[in-house]
Each structure stands twice: as C-alpha cells, then as structure tokens.
Structure 1
C-alpha cells in the first residue's frame, strides 16, 4: 500500500465529530428569524441552518443560497407545478416573512459518529454537498461539507508528508 492509499484509508475512517466546525461558527437562524437576517447571512454563506430556538437547537430546516431566487422573485414568476406549489409562497411578495416560510424542511443529516466515508457516500447518493450533523434527538451538532472534507484530506496529505503527483503515484514531500 502506498502513501496516498494509506492517507485515504485514514481519511475514510475519521469520525465527523473530530473534524466538524463548532456550532458557534456555523450560519444559524431560528424559525422566526426575519428573512432579512437570512439574506444577510447568505451574502457570504452558501446555506443557513434553521433551528427551533438557539437554546434547544433542534434542526428544522435549511435555506440554501440558490433558494434566494424564489425568495426574491414575485410569485407569478415562479412556476407552480403539482406538488411544488409551496415555492409560490416562498416569495417575499407571496407572503414569506420569516425563515420558516422559506426553509427546506427535508434536510440531509448524518450522525456525528459517522465516518468521512459515510458522509462522502451519502453526499454522492443524494447529490448534496453539505450535511447537517445531528444527534439522536435531531439536535444540530455541526455540519460537514465537501469543502471541509477536501481541506481535511489536503491537511492529512501535508501532515503525512505525501505529495500526490498527477499520474497518481506519491512521493515524500520535500
């Protein structure tokens, strides 16, 4: 087994709880937060987690950067299809006022004891780039994104003294 394969095996087996950022650094709003607060966060973030309140931190939903389009468009510009009528009401002009009005309720989650391999597998299966890390009571504990996983893999490669060459082989870094 070469150095890159060893690094990947270590990477795959890492527990998410050991690499996830602290909840304090995450973009979080409550269900009753005004949409303006959500938009302010989305200027610099790709998503905002929505919780019931800051004390309990029960995960209720997520608002993604691309959801802003539906929030800002007038309702008549949103195509309402059978089973998708709710997007009409996610517009500010359609009556949306707070985070709970515009959030996506079906959030992809994963347990904090899951491994990097578990997270990557779930991301690929459901074509998502970020997962909420929750406990058994659906309390938000952290998040894991593809970007964080890339950073962690690169950190691991550097720490392990391995340089990954384009042809797929590895050599000790100098």
Structure 2
C-alpha cells in the first residue's frame, strides 16, 4: 500500500472506529474532589468533567497545565484585568471540586466526523485533544497521539514505505 493510499484511508476513517475504549479515558464528575483530580493528572495530560455518570453531559476539561492555577494563591491571579475567574480556580480561592476548575470552553467533535475533520479542527484551534460527543454527551476522545498511533498501524498493516 502506498503512503498516499494509506493517508486517504486514514483521513476517511470515522472517529468512532479509532477511539479508545471509553473505560480507558479519564473522566470525572463535577463533584469530584481536587485531590482525586491531581492524582489522575500525575499520569494523564487531561481529565474530562461530566455532570454525572448517568447522562455524561460534558461540562469541561481540566488540563495538566491548569494545575498551575490551582496551586497559585488567589492574589497571584489578580495582576491582569479579566483574570478574576482564575482566582476562583485556586485552592486557596475556594476551588474544591472538578466543576470549580474545569475549563468550560471545550472543543468537541461529533461522533460521525472523520479523522480529517479532527485534524483540521486541531490545526485550526492549535489543540491536541478533542472531546467526541453525541448530542452533548461525552462518548470518547481523539488526540494527536491516538491519530499518530492509528496512522502508524495502517502503514504497518499495509506495508507502506516512505519515499524520499
């Protein structure tokens, strides 16, 4: 299989065909305590926050780098106009649960979209992970790492060779 053929196949794959099993993605509910979040973020780059496990309504995401805001004292956030919301994300500013610190503006992609759709969205917004949703409910995730793994798998299976 030529690389061009492999890429064409790769781009046309549905996200639901390459998403990891749902049980393997980091998901917590809005009322999860921050200590539990920090434990997850020791080994993961992010954690999805949902309203509850029954309806899986996506509330937000907490990224590894967001922990900086949690650890800083509230006054460290007040140096810029418009930073007051980050003040509340500090442990000392009153943040106690996942819902308190989750970034609410989450980039999502519908479950029926393709790999190419996901790559284009990642490029446009300069992000590495998208929540895969179905009617606002979290059903999975797609990340750059997952996409790379899938492309490498396709190239190995098809025996494609890079040509210089």
Q: Does the alignment reach a TM-score above 0.5?
A: yes
Cα deviation for residue 164 of structure 1 reads 1.9
Aligned to 2:155: 157
Q: Please, which runs of 5 or more residues in structure 1 have no aligned partner?
A: 168-174
Q: Superposition RMSD on alpha carbons, in Å?
A: 1.1
Alignment partners' CA distance in 2, 1:97 and 1:80 = 23
| Structure of greater Rg | 1
Aligned to 1:133: 132
Q: Please, which runs of 5 or more residues in structure 2 have no aligned partner?
A: none
Alignment partners' CA distance in 2, 1:79 and 1:45 = 29
Aligned residues: 164
Aligned to 2:146: 148
TM-score (structure 1 length as normaliser): 0.91
Alignment partners' CA distance in 2, 1:132 and 1:139 = 9
User: Does residue 1:100 correspond to 2:128, yes or no?
Assistant: no
Per mean C-alpha deviation after superposition, the further-off stretch among 70-79 and 6-15 is 70-79
Q: Is the 8 A contact 1:80 1:87 kept in 2?
A: no
Alignment partners' CA distance in 2, 1:130 and 1:72 = 24
Alignment partners' CA distance in 2, 1:131 and 1:84 = 25
Aligned to 2:67: 68
Q: Is the 8 A contact 2:61 2:102 kept in 1?
A: yes
Cα deviation for residue 89 of structure 1 reads 0.9
Structure possessing the higher relative contact order (Cα contacts under 8 Å, 6 or more residues apart): 2
TM-score (structure 2 length as normaliser): 0.96
Cα deviation for residue 80 of structure 1 reads 4.7
